[in-house]
Structure 1
């Protein structure tokens, strides 16, 4: 049984125990909101019929569709024809399906099928999600209360931890890729989206030296200079997500262009979150700053360790985040390009490279 108001499903009931709405026998596309599209009625793979338009990203559009085999709604993500001819873009697009299949976690969006349209554009058939992204929430509400934010971030960390255990690094963790399932303002589950930039540590070929991947506002120091990175890269990004979620602000601001933000991620310690929001729980601040350390060895070693501290927030147990740092918290570039890039960013901020200090 399906509730059209909150989109929860139940084994047997007449009314939704949560909001009292009358239940339907099964989800139907007519119950879901979508916008008109010229592709309405188009059938993909002799199975999926497009019913409406849901939205778009940088390189793909997403449509509401019905699976004619089981009459259930799905979301279909179609790579735009302008990008479909680029081999690297196609690989990254299809990587989302590969990653979801490898991870198989309830807090990661499910991908049911892949295919290709007659014009050569690949598509992914995914579970339909009702709700909004954390990015949408923060643009509207600005700050999320700890009572809701801690469970949301815990679910996201659990999902990313599952990805890391099978060797997959997301590399683009940000509020817009964390989906809050449920009525806007009242989520009951979290889904991690868009593994298009994910890297499988057992494979090679999608990272190019000198080319940084990710979203500028959430990029780790090692991403900024195109150094090798691991699961702690996602931990840093989630730390920046936490910073914004609890304070309503990002730690680093654009001065002239995005280069200024990248330089600060690499070289400047973030302002204490309590400087932005004085009433913030000091224990939450400790968790945020631990995740967002410059040196990877000073961050949480795994998402499981971060989850452990998020759980400890509800008790008097000491936080892992409060342990003394073992290393000076500066990023040490490893590759030749990374060292050159670091020198450039020092100059960008008018700072003296460490090799020339004192």
Structure 2
């Protein structure tokens, strides 16, 4: 016994025998001051061996095991604790989700917290789940499969599933009266009883009826499934999404980008006049098609997250503190969780899309959604001219005004933005035909993948 252990034993006041707690305290003191280190006393427990701790656990070995389970690895770099890793927002591009997903807080017991986090159903938070892509695909692939091959209301025969989003499922279908191909969109079973999601799915039908524009996907019918959840029937479209063009080309020329921005601004202006703010303008929702005459046809998708003037007050109150839209494309007022948005929010989203198409990168980025939203709220967007020196100073100023942090500094509506963009394209008709000629239009069975995007994206506010 070393000198330190002897002094610790003299200071110890508890009995050595007959009191398990006192003996346990003494053994801990002896092990702490033992010259061979805290692994054990050879005089008490024999020589150290690889399996000794497993056969005869010493006081404190459970603590070491718990530290290993919570992230401590002896001899290796430190790892984030399980609690911190569980609450870390899932990386959007890796997981295929559009919002920060956080694990439950759990209780004081680490064992209870680990057991809680291990259940996929218990990890569901809000409208998204933090499970990995394989788990999502495996679980979601079996949803609504009972509808395949059935007939809805004796009018529509359902075929295969086109895709599954965060809250919705899309089927290819046929209208029995004239054999017309359509697409039927419904909610996932877990959200069948969610009133806000059901109202937003029906709102796409409302937008289609009230916004008279050829670039809005027609919603021709709606109904109710056997479980009470709504479904909508849309025209089946096909084309090439703009994000696929950007992935293939990298960046686009100024006339091409301005021509596409003018077409998007036109349909958004009609929507704003009708009382709807899209709130999720991005390349994935812009579908380009080529008509038989060689002209360019554009569709603007996914009005499921739009802000409507006709929305009830209780729905607006529930939206407060949440971000609706894709984090990389939301305006600062959306990022702060303010539901009172107007046309200037879509001006910002369109500005992000123009910035990305001209520079090949997004104006804002972040390691997590929390950091991304915080940067959108607190930082000014970089100037396009610094990244693309060939862009004129006038166009740089227009894009900077579209991406202004204060909405009072942006263009007040889409008509004012269109007047500012028109001087940068000489012949719109010739540019549109050139864009249409370069499209890689796919078959109808493969071209509607973007329609099955999430009908609702909800992100809890994490930045002030």
Same fold by TM-score, threshold 0.5 exceeded? yes
Gaps of 5+ in 1: 1-36, 316-340, 346-358
Instruction: Write out per-residue CA displacement over residues 14-56 of structure 1, whole angstroms, 9 at most, x where no aligned residue.
Output: xxxxxxxxxxxxxxxxxxxxxxx87543222211112333223
Paired residues for 1:120-269 under 5 Å: 120-182=228-290, 188-205=296-313, 206-207=315-316, 208-227=319-338, 228-255=340-367, 257-269=368-380
Alignment match of 1:82 (pick from 184, 190, 200): 190
Greater RCO between the two (CA within 8 Å, min separation 6)?
Answer: 2
Q: For 1:212, what is the secondary structure of its paired residue?
A: strand
Q: Distance in 1 between matches of 2:238 and 2:214?
A: 15
Does structure 1 residue 278 correspond to structure 2 residue 386?
Answer: no
**Residue matched to 2:44:** none
**Partner Cα separation in structure 2 for residue 252 and residue 160 of structure 1:** 23
Contact 2:254 2:424 in 1 (8 A): no
Asked if 1:43 is matched to 2:151, the reply is yes
Whichever structure has more helix as a proportion of its residues is: 2
Distance 1:72 1:181, change over 3 A: same
Instruction: Give the secondary structure class of the aligned counterpart of 2:364.
Output: coil
Structure 1, 112-121 or 197-206: larger mean CA deviation: 197-206
Q: 1:61, 1:202 → 2: CA distance?
A: 26
Which one is further off, 200-209 or 94-103? Answer: 200-209
Q: Is the 8 A contact 1:172 1:214 kept in 2?
A: yes
Q: CA deviation at 1:202?
A: 4.2
Number of matched pairs: 280
The structure-2 alpha-carbon separation of the partners of 1:222 and 1:129, relative to structure 1 and needing over 3 Å to count, comes to same
The Cα shift of 1:144 comes to 2.5
Q: Quick one: structure 1 residues 131 and 68, their matched pair in 2 at CA, closer, same or farther if it must change by over 3 Å?
A: same
Structure 1 match to 2:425:
314
Q: Distance in 1 between matches of 2:146 and 2:394?
A: 52
Going from structure 1 to structure 2, the CA distance change for 1:130 and 1:295 (only over 3 Å counts) comes to: same
1:245 Cα deviation from its structure 2 partner: 1.4
Separation (CA, whole Å) in 1 of partners of 2:393 and 2:179: 50
- Look up the match of 2:55: none
Aligned counterpart, 1:115: 223
Is the contact between residue 274 and residue 280 of structure 1 (CA under 8 Å) also seen in structure 2?
yes
Report what 1:332 is aligned to: none
Picking from 266, 286, 299, the partner of 2:410 is 299
User: Matches of 2:236 and 2:403 in 1, distance apart?
Assistant: 32
Deviation at 1:61, TM superposition (A): 1.9
Tell me what 1:331 maps to.
none
Question: Deviation of residue 312 (structure 1)?
Answer: 2.0
Counterpart among 36, 49, 56 of residue 164 in structure 2: 56
The gaps in structure 2 that reach 5 residues or longer are 1-144, 427-460
Is the 8 Å Cα contact of residues 130 and 182 (structure 1) preserved in structure 2? no
**Take 1:215 and 1:305, find their aligned partners in 2: how far apart are those partners?**
25
Query: Are residues 1:103 and 2:211 paired?
Result: yes
